[in-house]
Structure 1
């Protein structure tokens, strides 16, 4: 069981199979990306909970699926990642993707941000998506 990756719940539960394996795999992402992970705390919440964080900390007044806070003070990564379970459900429906796959994509997305990947420009988004797909496929083997 992972001691570096934790899952916590603000006001929403994440119904994801084999959570311990997912946590261990997040550690694998950091190893493969050659980044040192000290601790990452995923907090699963509702749209409204994450909207409040988005407004207060980023001055953004819109729903999002994930907000990642890099709290690192050294080269070892320490972070909090807030994920809206409501957004995962809606995105999975819209994209006609299984809930579990969309949940993995968002969880891995947060880890990839902490490994240095960005998603503001078109080419950054393409690289991020390809990395997400790579790790989802690797996890699913």
Structure 2
């Protein structure tokens, strides 16, 4: 089981990577979802917009794009792309630290891979509840 954090043409100050990887593994275990391989790619708005356009046919800026790459629905093999630019902007917009917002988005991607959606109002409310639960467990 591997979790990797890979900056792509951005500076990233991600603290306590070992602890974060252990927390993400525990998150998957708590949700009853197997985890084989997970790659987080931290990038610019421009790079993530290109991915959003090419693979999802969305022409909008976003903070995260998540891909499930495995064939077994019970075992995750995924890639999560996170725009550091969006994280910084959203942290200011929501009045939280960049560290908190970055972790919220990191957990958001993992929750997507555990089966949580956010397309409807009810799904979004549940997703936000799960994100807040993760933030509380992680930062205590």
TM-score, with length taken from structure 1? 0.95
Structure 1 segment 1-141 matched on structure 2, within 5 A: 4-74=2-72, 75-141=74-140
Q: Give the Cα–Cα distance (whole angstroms) in 1 for the partners of residues 13 and 70 of structure 2.
A: 29
CA distance in 2, matches of 1:13, 1:32: 31
Q: Is the 8 A contact 1:51 1:64 kept in 2?
A: yes
Partner of 2:21, secondary structure, is helix
8 Å Cα contact 1:7-1:43 kept in structure 2 = yes
* Alpha-carbon distance between aligned partners in 2 of 1:121 and 1:76, rounded to the nearest angstrom: 25
Structure 2 residue ranges without an equivalent (≥5): none
Runs of 4+ in 1 over 3 A off after TM superposition: none
How far residue 23 of structure 1 moved from its aligned partner, in angstroms, is 1.5
User: 2: distance between equivalents of 1:123 and 1:58?
Assistant: 23
Structure 1: unaligned runs, 5 residues or longer: none
Residues in 2 aligned to 1:41 and 1:97: alpha-carbon distance in whole angstroms:
25
Distance apart, 1:106 and its partner CA: 0.1
Root-mean-square deviation (CA, aligned residues, Å) is 0.9
> 1:73, 1:138 → 2: CA distance?
30
Q: Give the secondary structure class of the aligned counterpart of 1:108.
A: helix
